[in-house]
């Protein structure tokens, strides 16, 4: 009987039309190897000056010389301080609390410094607001050591001294003042009380000063809506922990929606407690991190989102809206509405639709629900930009009304959709100064580049939320001859104060209410009411401050936001807005929901944000949590549209993912050569494209990746009607995950529903793998079926890492934290494509191929006979709207580790504390361990990644190497490496306890990933301490080990993902 199985040597063979396969049938190599040509030419061989003998001589000599040279040790110099600062002890880390406020990311953080060098960002646990650092914030420490930074003040491309700068700019400023033209301060959102005051002083000195706040990715619509309703230019605070029903219409609130930072609260509500957890329904077009975490995700196009929101509003408040949503979506909306209504104050709605009406409706719905999770009384102040003011500025510049422009923290020539107009306008100004860390697009076009310090070299204060203050302090002396914007303002104002003194005076004068400045600086955060301040007095003071701020904002010449008079008029009516006007907002929203052709949603990636950190190799190499692709942005299309438009994916022989190119046109503006990724879950008729890529100046060639999406960001609207056209050429993606589905292997990610979790016994939804022993089913964890003798691990510490798949949002902060802590090298796009990525910790993302993972498993189990082959074929493809699961995978530190038994040189061995140890100096690089590891977590150094020009990332220059952690070896070529469970951190904790002569308490042990995880998904501790959190988690019903049936007995626990699928 002939089998119809097809054997193949490479994927290429499966392609019947491949010419390569045809050629290879006859020949060994695709193209002729030119041996004959080379060896046949006797003449040239003989005339060659290097004979074979000479060659051998040279080889012999150089080998001998090299080995002789190696015998001599290098002379190492040690240079101590002349006067050692008291707080610095070489070898001991210092921590400073500070704040990042780069206009896009705002967070109170802790900086770990070693010998005066900041080397790592950690969460500030004292911070009540924004105390968690995302992936970008974690990576921001590397920006400090960026070799491309501007090292001194520049004029027309040549370095100048600050004295010259001062002299020239002072003259220019006063001449502009006298000419009566405008001086414009175009800045990022500072949210800084002291900076606002300083700008006000600058305005009063020069008179005709306009302050325009510009957010590259604008939240103007939400700000306008909030301002209209509540009178403050801010954004409502959402605490998703308090919500039991979360409905989101296009809001990626686990990403960068309204400034981000909502994931920690969200994750807490997602862990089933007493049989309850929140239910999350998401309506969106792109597959976002938030949609991937939702219990129910409904793919809808951007224009449908508007209708969905209007419909939701009408269903909840009892109005009516004429929507024409398809039946299935309308049903989903009705269910969502009834769920929200049922939840009442336990429900919350969030929307990311870039439309004032939509944002107004969201606020109205939340107030109608009187949602506990929705708090308009302490607005978030980290977005202040106004679209109108920015557009007005460009118009004024073109009209020649602007005499001088001073930019800080912005890069309009890259981020503005009408960048060319801005460039034109810039030429018409008499003075243009860009405070910038890089010679970026805008800085290069300005007359002066005022080299700005990194935030780790600066002073500052930030009011993250109303009444929630945070201080920024330098953690290192400025590396270059830089000056911060505020300091320059002070000098222009004619003050000789330092900005630190200015902040201190300002804080002592109001914010602190008599509390110690130094204490606030030490904590990094200050919220009146804490720190023993009498809450009453302090809060009135802050009210006063924000009161003045607000007044400033409404003052038409000044202001944060430059609202013109006519806007104020609308504001007034908005303030007195009745239900009727909101109803009209709903109608307007529906009528604006018009789609022509394809609809494009622009978004920001978790890794790259608005693009200001584009020269950060950690972030470039950070795989997007959804597409798992690094070093790129791309347009995402649904499978149906891809088939229609002729886009496809293929894999080359090394496994690398290939795709097509497309060009997108919005209102006559075309962006070409955008790679296309077919994205499961993408709403049909919609496309997605991320900001942040395609930078051209101020970064290394290696980092000039992707395409710039800002030209398509017209009218600062993230959704655009667009036409798409296929282009020629094949794009090579650097995708780290090539297998996207679980193929029904339910034991990798165990996944169940809340109903089953609550009603059935553990064995049903978290089954233990069984093996047959004497025809009796025995659990694989039983010692009776074990191949190995068990070590006695009851003494001392036994570390366990617990990962809760319910709490993990896939944000990837842990990935970057691991990079920073463990000196993980960056390998570049080409190497990633060859699957040679070095991430010790990866976050696998799986799609279901049926509608849910459970159905995958059922399908696999129910398919019998040969049809399983076809079934598997189908299961390789993700569903059109798949369920998504994230799974952080690092070395599982198996108690019975397969890698250890195969190492010929015992370079990987087991420790008593449960850590599988990797000894780099013993490793000879056979890679047996990597092959024998069932989890594929071992990483091999194919090359030397430091001091190697082929890998010109941070480890190739002295500056970039300053970020390295001195406690962790920098690995060399030919060595295997992997997660060490941060043994340097556990050892340090142990040593500290030994020195103090005390017992270690639970919570003291940490790994980089567990410390970085603000959502509480990764917990670390000692299971020999029965009271510890991880010891209890180990006994939890949801606990399982990855590939339990292999019998590796890992020390990493996973906790079954529970989805709340209960329809209200």
Partner 1 sequence: MIQVIYRKLASKFLNLGLIILLTFSTSLYAQDGDPEKGKSLYNTNCAACHQLDRKMTGPALRNVASRLQEEQGLGRDWLYKWIRNSSGLIKSGDDYANQIYEEYNGVAMTAYPQFSDSDIDDILAYTAQPKEEKTADVDGEVATTGTTEGGGTSNRLILGALALLFALLAISLVLVRKTLNRFADAKGLTVEAAEKKKGFPIWKAFVQNQFLVLVSVIILLLTSAYFVYGFFMQIGIDQGYEPIQPIHYSHRIHAGENAIDCKYCHSSARVSKHSGIPSLNVCMNCHKSIYQVAEETQQMGIEEYGVDYNAEIQKLYKAVGWDEEDQSYTGETQPVKWIRIHNLPDFAYFNHSQHVAVGGIQCQECHGPVQEMEIMYQYSPLTMGWCINCHRETEVKTEGNEYYTKIHEELSKKYGVDKLTVAQMGGLECGKCHY
Interacting residues toward partner 1 by CB under 8 A: 70-71, 73, 75-84, 89-92, 792, 794-796, 909, 911-913, 915, 917-922, 967-970, 980, 983-984, 987, 990-991, 993-1000
Please, how many CA atoms are within 13 Å of residue 716, restricted to the half-sphere of its CB?
A: 21
Q: How far apart are CA 613 and CA 840, in angstroms?
A: 22
Residue 621: CB minimum distance to partner 1, A: 23
Cβ–Cβ under 8 Å, residues 121 and 138 = yes
Instruction: Report whether 895 contacts 1051 (CB < 8 A).
Output: yes
CB of 77 to partner 1, least distance (A): 5
Q: Which is nearer to partner 1, 5 or 77 (CB)?
A: 77
Helix or strand holding residue 779 (H, E): strand 776-779
Contact 853, 864 (CB under 8 A): no
Output 274 or 921, the one with its CB closest to partner 1. 921
User: What residues contact 1040, with CB distance under 8 A and at least 6 apart?
Assistant: 747, 750, 766, 1053, 1054, 1055, 1056
Which is closer to partner 1, CB of 575 or CB of 987? 987
Residue 17 vs 794, nearer CB to partner 1 = 794
- Nearest distance from C-beta of residue 83 to partner 1, angstroms: 4
Q: Which is nearer to partner 1, 75 or 728 (CB)?
A: 75
Instruction: Name the residue nearer to partner 1 (CB basis): 646 or 796.
Output: 796
Question: What is the number of other CB atoms lying within 10 angstroms of the CB of residue 912?
Answer: 12
Kindly compute the dihedral angle of the four CA atoms of residues 456, 458, 463, 467, in this order, to the nearest 10 degrees. Answer: 90
State in angstroms the smallest separation of the CB of 935 from partner 1: 19
Judged by CB, which is closer to partner 1: 242, or 798?
798
HEC secondary structure over 123-179: ECCCCCCCCCCCHHHHHHHHHHCCCCECCCCEECCEECCHHHHHHHHHHHHHHHHHH
| Cα-based distances in Å from 204 to 197, 557, 753 | 11, 11, 62
Residue 538 or 985 with smaller CB distance to partner 1? 985
Q: How far is the CB of 906 from partner 1 (least distance, A)?
A: 8
Under 8 Å between Cβ of 408 and 485 = yes
Least distance from partner 1 to the Cβ atom of residue 88, Å: 10
Which residues face 107 on adjacent strands?
A: 100
* Tokens representing residue 977 in the block: 């490496």
CB atoms within 10 A of CB 642: 21
CB of 116 to partner 1, least distance (A): 13
**89, 516 in Cβ contact below 8 A?**
no
CB of 97 to partner 1, least distance (A): 22
Give exposure, 221-254, as e/b (b: 16+ Cβ within 10 Å): bbbbbbbbbbebbbbbbbbbbbbbbbbbbbbbbb
Instruction: Point out which residues pair with 773 in neighbouring strands.
Output: 776
C-beta closer to partner 1: residue 237 or 916: 916
Q: Please say which residue, 342 or 994, places its beta carbon nearer to partner 1.
A: 994
Return the structure tokens found at 983. Answer: 């043994």
Region for 592 from its dihedrals, namely left if φ exceeds 0, alpha if ψ lies in -120 to 50, beta otherwise: alpha
Q: Is 390 helix (H, G, I), strand (E, B) or coil?
A: helix
Q: Which is nearer to partner 1, 148 or 968 (CB)?
A: 968
- C-beta of 797: minimal distance to partner 1 in Å? 9
CB of 998 to partner 1, least distance (A): 5
Q: How far is the CB of 363 from partner 1 (least distance, A)?
A: 52
Q: Which is nearer to partner 1, 77 or 477 (CB)?
A: 77
How far apart, in Å, are the Cα atoms of 20 and each of 15, 31, 358, 549? Answer: 10, 10, 54, 69
Residue nearer to partner 1 on the CB measure, 201 or 900: 900
Closest distance of CB 74 from partner 1, Å:
9
Q: What's the full length of the chain, in residues?
A: 1064
Minimum distance of partner 1 from residue 923's CB (angstroms): 10
For tokens 């302050």, what's the residue?
211
How many whole angstroms separate alpha carbon 680 and alpha carbon 678? 7
């Amino acid at each position: 009987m002939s089998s119809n199985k097809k054997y193949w040597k490479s994927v290429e063979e499966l392609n019947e039309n491949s010419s390569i396969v045809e050629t290879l049938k006859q020949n060994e190599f695709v193209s002729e190897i030119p041996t004959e040509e080379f060896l046949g030419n006797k003449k040239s061989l003989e005339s060659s000056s290097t004979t074979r003998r000479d060659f051998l001589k040279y080889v012999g000599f150089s080998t001998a010389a090299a080995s002789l040279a190696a015998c001599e040790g290098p002379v190492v110099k040690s240079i101590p301080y002349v006067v050692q600062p008291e707080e610095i002890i070489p070898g001991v880390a210092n921590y400073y609390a500070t704040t990042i406020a780069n206009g896009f990311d705002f967070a109170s953080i802790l900086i770990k410094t070693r010998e005066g060098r900041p080397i790592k960002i950690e969460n500030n646990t004292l911070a009540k607001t924004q105390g968690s650092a995302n992936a970008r914030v974690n990576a921001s420490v590397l920006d400090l050591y960026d070799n491309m930074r501007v090292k001194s003040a520049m004029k027309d491309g040549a370095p100048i001294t600050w004295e010259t700068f001062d002299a020239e700019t002072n003259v220019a400023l006063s001449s502009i003042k006298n000419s009566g033209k405008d001086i414009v301060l175009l800045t990022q959102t500072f949210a800084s009380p002291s900076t606002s005051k300083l700008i006000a002083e600058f305005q009063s000195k020069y008179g005709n000063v306009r302050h325009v706040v510009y957010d590259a990715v604008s939240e103007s619509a939400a700000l306008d809506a909030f301002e209209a309703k509540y009178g403050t230019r801010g954004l409502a605070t959402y605490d998703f922990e308090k919500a039991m029903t979360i409905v989101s219409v296009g809001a990626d609130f686990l990403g960068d929606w309204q400034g981000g930072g909502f994931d920690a609260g969200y994750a807490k509500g997602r862990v089933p407690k007493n049989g309850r957890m929140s239910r999350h329904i998401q309506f969106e077009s792109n597959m976002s991190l938030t949609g991937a975490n939702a219990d129910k995700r409904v793919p809808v196009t951007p224009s449908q989102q508007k209708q969905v929101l209007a419909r939701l509003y009408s269903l909840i408040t009892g109005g009516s809206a004429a929507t024409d949503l398809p039946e299935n979506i309308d049903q989903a909306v009705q269910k969502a509405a009834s769920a929200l209504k049922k939840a009442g104050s336990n429900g919350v709605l969030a929307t990311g639709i870039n439309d004032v009406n939509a944002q107004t409706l969201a606020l109205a719905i939340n107030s109608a629900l009187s949602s506990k999770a929705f708090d308009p009384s302490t607005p978030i102040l980290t977005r202040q930009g106004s679209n109108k003011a920015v557009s007005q500025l460009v118009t004024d510049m073109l009209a020649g009304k602007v005499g001088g422009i001073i930019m800080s923290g912005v890069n309009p020539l890259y981020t503005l959709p009408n960048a060319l107009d801005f460039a034109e306008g810039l030429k018409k100004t008499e003075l243009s100064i860009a405070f910038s860390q890089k010679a970026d697009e805008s800085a290069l076009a300005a007359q002066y580049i005022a080299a700005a310090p990194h935030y780790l070299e600066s002073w500052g204060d930030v009011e993250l939320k109303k009444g929630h203050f945070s201080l920024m302090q330098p953690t290192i002396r400025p590396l270059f001859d830089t000056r911060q914007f505020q300091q320059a303002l002070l000098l222009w104002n004619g003050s000789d104060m330092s900005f630190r003194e200015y902040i201190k005076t300002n804080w002592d004068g109001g914010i602190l209410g008599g509390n110690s400045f130094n204490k606030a600086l030490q904590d990094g955060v200050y919220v009146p009411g804490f720190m023993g301040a009498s809450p009453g007095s302090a809060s009135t003071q802050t009210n006063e401050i924000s009161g003045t701020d607000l007044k400033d904002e409404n003052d038409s010449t000044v202001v944060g936001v430059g609202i013109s008079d006519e806007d104020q008029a609308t504001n007034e009516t908005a303030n007195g807005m009745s239900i009727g006007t909101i109803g009209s907002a709903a109608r307007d929203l529906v009528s604006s929901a018009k789609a022509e052709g394809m609809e494009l949603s622009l978004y920001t990636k978790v890794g790259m944000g608005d693009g200001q950190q584009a020269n950060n190799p950690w972030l470039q190499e950070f795989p997007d949590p959804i597409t798992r692709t690094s070093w790129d942005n791309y347009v995402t299309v649904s499978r149906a549209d891809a088939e229609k438009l002729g886009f496809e994916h293929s894999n080359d022989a090394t496994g690398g993912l290939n795709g097509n190119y497309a060009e997108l046109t919005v209102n006559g503006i075309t962006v070409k050569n955008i790679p296309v990724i077919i994205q499961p879950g993408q709403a049909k008729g919609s496309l997605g494209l991320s900001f942040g890529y395609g930078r051209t100046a101020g970064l290394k060639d290696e980092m000039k990746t992707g395409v710039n999406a800002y030209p398509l960001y017209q009218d600062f609207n993230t959704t655009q009607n667009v036409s798409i056209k296929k282009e020629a050429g094949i794009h090579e993606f650097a995708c780290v995950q090539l297998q996207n589905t679980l193929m029904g292997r339910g034991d990798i990610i165990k996944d169940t529903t809340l109903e089953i979790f609550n009603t059935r016994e553990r064995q049903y939804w978290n089954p233990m793998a069984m093996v047959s022993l004497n025809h009796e089913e025995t659990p694989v964890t039983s010692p009776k079926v074990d191949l190995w003798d068990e070590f006695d691990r009851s003494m001392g510490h036994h570390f366990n890492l617990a990962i809760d798949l319910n709490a993990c949002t896939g944000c990837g902060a842990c990935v970057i934290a691991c990079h920073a802590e463990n000196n993980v090298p960056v390998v570049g796009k080409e190497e990633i494509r060859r699957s040679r990525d070095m991430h010790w910790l990866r976050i696998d993302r799986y799609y279901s191929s049926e509608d849910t993972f459970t159905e995958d498993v059922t399908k696999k189990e129910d398919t019998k006979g040969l049809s399983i082959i076809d079934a598997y074929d189908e299961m390789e493809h993700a569903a059109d709207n798949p369920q998504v699961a994230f799974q952080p995978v690092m070395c599982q530190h198996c108690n019975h580790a397969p890698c250890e038994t195969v190492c010929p040189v015992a370079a990987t061995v087991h420790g008593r504390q449960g850590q599988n140890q990797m000894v780099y100096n013993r490793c000879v690089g056979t890679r047996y361990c990597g092959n024998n590891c069932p989890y594929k977590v071992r990483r091999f150094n194919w090359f030397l990644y430091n001091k190697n020009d082929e890998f010109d990332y941070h480890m190739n220059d002295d500056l970039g190497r300053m970020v390295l952690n001195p406690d962790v070896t920098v690995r060399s070529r030919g060595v295997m490496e992997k997660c060490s469970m941060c043994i340097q951190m556990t050892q340090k904790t142990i040593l500290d306890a030994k020195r103090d002569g005390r017992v270690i308490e639970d919570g003291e042990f940490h790994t980089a990933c567990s410390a970085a995880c603000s959502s509480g998904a990764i917990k670390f501790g000692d299971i020999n301490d029965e009271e510890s959190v991880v010891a209890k988690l180990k006994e939890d019903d949801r606990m399982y080990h990855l590939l339990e049936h292999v019998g590796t007995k890992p020390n990493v626990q996973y906790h079954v993902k529970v989805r709340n699928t209960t329809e209200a």
